[in-house]
Amino acid sequence: MQVVILCGGRGTRLSEETTLKPKPLVEIDGKPILWHVMNLYSAYGFQDFLLALGYKGELIREYFSSFDRPPSRLHGGVRDSDVETAGAPTAKWVVDLVDSGLETMTGGRLLRLKKKLKPETFMLTYGDGLGSMDIAELVQFHKRHGKIATVTAVRPPARFGGIQCDGERVVSFREKSQADAGWINGGFFVFQPEVFRYLTDDESVLEQAPLERLATEGQLMAYKHAGFWQCMDTARDRDYLNELAERGAVPWGPTK
């Protein structure tokens, strides 16, 4: 099964890093966050990747081609090889690097990959989010319900305490838990090829009209993941993930 990873955004909220590199190459625990994302899928046997490049995509090409042992069948104008991936010695990754445009929206980037995708179930995620979800279980969930799309629903990380006031007097203070918040898009999708009927052009934003329409038509199901999940939108997010790694507490990655 192919895995699409959206790697083309500008990452402006992390500009101290992304003025020099694309966000998927920002390092967590000494390796690009993109490597961690790919390693999660690879651990469950999903090793055929399509990377939708955009902003500073040439640096992602350089990253893969600079390996002493580059991914097997590395495509996209870099070079080919039949050896294993550096950093993941048990996994033979197949990596196809595709320029999906500088200003293209998320749905548009997926649409540009249509000809590269086999006419079968595929997965999609972003190049800047980590989690402890069981990818094999996610795929089985998708196959069981028989709909066009599955989105992984997660609880947003709890960061702030809840305060209730009566005038200026605090009447309740309670540390907020993840369970207090609703479910949000965690960015780990499974799609049937029919999803392309919901995409129109480069301006298609996957998270807006396409998913909204799929939901309205009863074609979008939620795989609820209550475990660890963290996106890397800001420097604070990056520092938090690195802090976890420094403490030896790495909650993302395979659960088995």
Query: 102: pLDDT confidence band, cut at 50, 70 and 90?
Result: very high
Query: What pLDDT is stored for residue 165 in this prediction?
Result: 72
Residue 28 in this model has a pLDDT that exceeds 50: yes
Q: What's the rounded mean pLDDT across residues 148-160?
A: 84
Residue 244 has pLDDT above 90, yes or no: yes
- What mean pLDDT comes out for the span 180-185? 79
- Domain spans of the chain? 2-246
Return mean pLDDT, the chain. Answer: 87
**How much of the chain, in percent, has pLDDT values that exceed 90?**
73
Fold of 2-246: Spore Coat Polysaccharide Biosynthesis Protein SpsA; Chain A (3.90.550)
Q: What's phi and psi for 225, nearest 5 deg?
A: -115, 115
pLDDT for residue 85: 39
Task: Quote the pTM value.
Answer: 0.87
Tokens in use for 28? 């967590």
